[in-house]
Structures are given as C-alpha cells and as structure tokens.
Structure 1
C-alpha cells in the first residue's frame, strides 16, 4: 500500500513538472543589457505566474529574483521582467520559474552586464551579430507553392559564434494576409515566428535588439497610412527588448542604445513614411522630426563607430524597390546634415533586399567614406541581384544566399577597428573587411 501511494505521489509530482515545462510557448530571451540591469523575456501558452532567478557565475550562492508577473491573453501571454540587482562586468546564469516550477533547458541560459571601462581601461572588445528577413513557414496561411522560408539552422550557426548581442534589421517576422487586419492575427504571427525551435538557444543567451521593416510593421511596402500601425507598434514592443522606444514622442519605435564605446541608433522607416505611389506631397521615409533627433543624437555621441540601423538601404544609387534613392530629397537632407554637422564614424546597417552588399560613398577627398552594410536574408527567399545600378557597391561583397554578419570591434580606445565578417547558413566565412575608426574622421576642419 505504501509503495502504491509513493508511486502515485511521484506520478503527480512528475505530471505537475511536465505540465509546467509545457506552459512555455517561446523563450526565454535576453533583451537589453546595461551596467545595472538587463531585460528577461518569456512567452507562456496560457496565463501563468512567471519570475526569474539569477546569480553571478563566480558567486552562485548569492541569488537574486525578479518580480513576479502573471501573463495575460491580451498581451500575448508575454512577460518582460528586469534583473535589476546586477553589477557591471559580470556574467550571470538565470533560471525561469513558471507557476513556481523551474523550467529545464538543454542549452545555457545566461546574460551579461556591460563593463564599466570609462576612466579605467580601454573599452572591451565587442562581438555582435546582424541579420534581416526571417520567414517561418506556416502552410495554412502561406501562399501556395514552394515554401518561402528555409535553412533555419542558420540560427544555430549564429548561436555557435557566441555574439554579445544580435541586432535584427527588420522583416524579423512576415505578417500575412490573415494577420495584419487584426490584433489577434498580429499576435499569432509574432508568436509563431518566435516559437521556431532552431531559434531558442540563440534567444536564451544572446542579448537582442531590433528594428522593423514593412513585413513586421504591416502589409508589403506598408507606410504611415497603415490602419493598424499602433497595434503593430505595441506588439513589436511586447516581443522585443530594446531599452527605449519612440524617443521622439511621435509614435513608432525610434530608439538608441550603447554597448561599450559604440552607439546604435534604431530608426523607424515605416511609421512616418509616405506611400511609394504618392507624389502629391513632400515625400519622406523618416520624417523631419526623426532626422533632426538623429542628427542631434549623433552630434552628442562620442562613439568611434556610430551605427545607424534602418530597414532599407540608404546610400545605394539604385532608385528601385524601396531604396532611399526613391525618396531623393529627404535622403539628401539626411546626408547633408551628417556632413554639415561634421559627424564622424557613421556606418549604416540595413536589410530588406534579400541579398548582402557593402556600399561605400565618398563625395570628395576632404570627407571620410560612409559605409552602408546591407545584410539579408536570414531565412526568407534570396536573390542574385548584383546591384549593378548601385555605383557605390563593392562588387566582391555581393552575396545571394542565406547569410548573417558578425561584427567585431577591438583595439585601444584611440584606435578602434571594425572587422566585418559575412557568413553562410553553416557559419562559413564568405568575405571579411576591416574598417578603422581613424579612417572615418575628417582630415581637416574649417572654422
């Protein structure tokens, strides 16, 4: 009788444990990191109480807890909790608890706090991944024919490179016709994409930041007239972990973050955009308010490399698709302001095109070259466009297969070097290039 009772109790305990594991829909994911806090994210399958516990790798006996939060249907059963008892320059292991039960995973669940290097040492070496255009197939809602998404093992390759963080450059998910007309559909699409099995290990131990482009904002080529843009803004913020959004207080997702001595400017190329087919008014992609904020923020930044992330190509001369060249007046205003303010170290990062290319623009020998790195596609369909109409392209950098980028910044504070590597789905290098910060400075200064 005692043995039978013991077996029953053991079965009940195990059943409860297994049920708790099944309550996790996607994640956990690590969002932004600062010196004193980091964001932890998870999505459950139904309403559940969630919290995280974490500890310094070198001091596992001192444990900390986040607040508890009960996930809700109207917010996609998403929990975003802050680990706010961390110290600079530490590596932490964290644990996820759902309804009081610890969730087990067969891959590391870790995050790091940023290093306090200022006035002490040279800035640390930084490794980060970039990519765009992630299409996860769902046959019942996809167009008939050959699936558009493939080679999802690319996320396992990115994970193996162990970047400090990943910057997603738009089209991170693809809203379909059944999705973008309702909040229910938008939540479903973001949930479906985030639940991809091959993605989970990367989410759990790499910090993530993101911008959007048309497909995670709304329909193909969507613009400011999209009637659901407030809903997609809300849901984008639910599913991503940037430290700030809408820094210009006009809607959308514009923001910025720092990592070591680098600064990233996250632009919104959809919320304020004029329709591609509307030529009756002043045409804009970013809008004057967002550009003026950007110029001011760039002018305030002391970063040797100032990375501007935007959903589409900026300096390409190919006035086709949705390139900035098709909005020539506003693009010229943006580039003129960068030059007029004598801002140094600018590099554009973007996606959209379903191929990768590095472009280099230098108007004369008195100004430094501005680079534009287009990195696409992660899993969505690719093309072999050679960018023949883009006079700034570096031909040897055109890639027409699934790929991602690993960017490394190293060297002493006064001589930082950016190394760009583009790798295929298996993590094999396709090309690399070094750019010195000192080469992105003005040679003379006319007072």
Structure 2
C-alpha cells in the first residue's frame, strides 16, 4: 500500500502544480490532502470577514472549483479513481487564518458563514471522486442549508490491518488566548470518543490519524494531546499533519508504544504563502506487512535525512 500525502496549495499562487505529476508518477494507491487545499483569505477580493454571505458563497465556489479544475490535480484524481482520494480541512479552507469554530459560532454574523463553508467542503470531498459533479453555480440549493452540519469524520479501513482516521481540527476548536488549558479543545470530546472507540476496536492495526495541525499546535491543547498519546501508547499510531509549509518527522514518548508524526506541507505555495521561496512538497508512505517506510520530497527530490523505516512489530525504527 502506497499512500501519498501533502497539504497547502493555491491555484491563485501557483496555477501550475507539478507536485501532482510527481505523485502520479509514483503510482500511489491513495492520496491524502491534509488541509489548506484552498486559501480563502489569500489574494481574495476582500477579507472573508468583510464579505456578505452571498459574496462569501461566490468566493467559496470560485476557490473550490478552481482547485478541482487544475489540470494536473484533475489528472491525478482520474488516475487514482473513485474512493482513493481523501481530504480534511484546516483554517484557510475552513474560514481564514487561525479560525476556531467554537469561537466563531458565538460571533454573529460571522457564524452564518460556517454552514456555507461546511457545504462547500462537502461538495469538494464528493467531487474528488467525480470532479464534474461539483455544482456549477454557487446558488445551488445544496450550499444553502443554514443548518448544514460539520463535515463527517470517518474512520476508513484501507486494508484488514490498516485504518485511516479523518479528523476535523477546526469545527470544534477553541481559541487559546484567554482560555484556560483545561478548557481548550482541538477535536472536542465527541470526536475524541468516536475515534477512541474505532481505534480500540482494532488493536492490532496500524492507525493513520490525519489532522492539519502539527504536534506543536496539539501541545497547546492538553486534553487532546494527552488523549492522542494515550491512544498511541496502546495502538500503533502515525499522526499525519500539514500546515507549516515544510516537511518533517518526529516521535514522542507515551509510556507505551511511541507516537510517530510525519508532516508534509507546501504542495504549491511559498514559505509565507505568497512570499518567500517556492515550496513544492509531498510525502509517501510505503506500508508492507512488516514495515512502514516514510519518504518526504521537496521539488521531487527525496529529503534523505527525513527518511524513516518503522517496524510494525516493535513500532520502533528499523536499525
């Protein structure tokens, strides 16, 4: 099983996105998009906070449909076929930089933008299987349910002993400023309970846990960070993260099995989205019965210093 993964791309910044050609050439079995698949608050006609709901819906439609129309991306989706591309979101495709759903739901009129964003992201997810199925007009009724719930957070069985958990790190997230540590939530209790049950039900499996935020952010949310480490202590868990516009690997002591993390971010942006050096990054997991090989690429050149091979038995690096 080969799983390609990356995050952070913008057609407005880079109309040409060769990262998809490079991934296609490796012939992965799955593609995982780890958030910031569009940048709603970058090179926008005006800040999304200042948009009316009608303007915001037009903007959402343009951004999501533009990424789906990007030729290299579209070709990769066709190569993979239905059911092989999976996506989560992060702040820039949820609403704007550092947007936290728990806080914004208490801020009318901004809160009325959340159902719109939910609906457009769901339509994007569905169109990953059939890009021509994305609604052609922002006025389509599918986008305008004022009670549209947050996107689903499924646990997907990729193989008999391999699970992918697609989490939502934005809809229920609290801010950290002026919020006591024990009150902060990244996933929220309901999501933690749901994933905890799915992970516990498959104790011998390898669990890929997808979330846009890196461990550095998770540590600002002690309830969620300690929960994730507790899961990882008992079950082989690999945190797949994005957001930071570079590639990285890390590992953490849990008192049991280690928690491993791999980050790939910056598929088609610059260091600071529109300024700085060009980032064209992606990652690849090659999963066999015995090992998990982690490979990270910058401009399609492997970053050998970040390469890791983990034993699925010991869940430690292979010597």
Give the shorter-chain TM-score range: 0.7 to 0.9
Which blocks of at least 5 consecutive residues in structure 2 are unaligned?
105-109, 130-147, 273-277
In structure 1, which of residues 298, 303, 312 is the aligned counterpart of residue 199 of structure 2? Answer: 298
Aligned to 2:287: 409
Return the alpha-carbon distance in structure 2 between the equivalents of residues 333 and 164 of structure 1.
30
How far did residue 205 of structure 1 move? 1.3
| Contact kept in structure 1, 2:8 and 2:245, CA below 8 Å | yes
1:343 to 1:350, Cα distance in 2 relative to 1, 3 A: same
1:144 is aligned to none
1:153 equivalent in alignment to 2:52: no
Q: Normalized per residue, which structure has more helix?
A: 2
Higher strand share: 1
Aligned to 1:104: none
Q: Match for 2:224 among 313, 330, 346?
A: 330
How many residues were matched structurally? 268
Query: Does residue 380 of structure 1 match 2:269?
Result: yes
1:185 corresponds in structure 2 to 59
Shift of 1:254: 1.4
TM-score, normalization by structure 1: 0.56
Instruction: Please state if 1:172 is matched with 2:34.
Output: no
Helix, strand or coil for the counterpart of 2:205? coil
Displacement of 1:291: 0.7
Contact 2:269 2:279 in 1 (8 A): no
How far off is 1:212 after superposition?
Answer: 0.5
Render the CA deviation track for 1:149-177: whole Å, top value 9, x for unaligned.
47621111111111111000010111134
**RMSD (Å) for aligned C-alpha atoms:** 2.5
Among 86, 91, 101, which residue is 1:209 paired with? 86
Q: Aligned partners of 1:325 and 1:151: how far apart in 2?
A: 35
The secondary structure found in structure 2 opposite 1:438 is coil
| Contact 1:131–1:377 under 8 Å retained in 2 | yes
Cross-structure match for 2:248: 357
Decide whether aligned partners of structure 1 residues 296 and 154 sit closer, same or farther in structure 2, where only a CA change above 3 A counts.
same
- Say which of 247, 257, 275 aligns to 2:156: 257
Q: 1:234 maps to which residue?
A: 119
Structure possessing the higher radius of gyration over alpha carbons: 1
Unaligned runs of 5+ in 1: 1-125, 138-147, 244-248, 317-322, 384-399, 442-447
Q: How many Å apart are 1:401 and its aligned residue?
A: 4.2
SS in 1 for 2:251: strand
The match for 1:79 is: none
Corresponding residue for residue 131 of structure 1: 6
Matched, 1:271 2:207: no
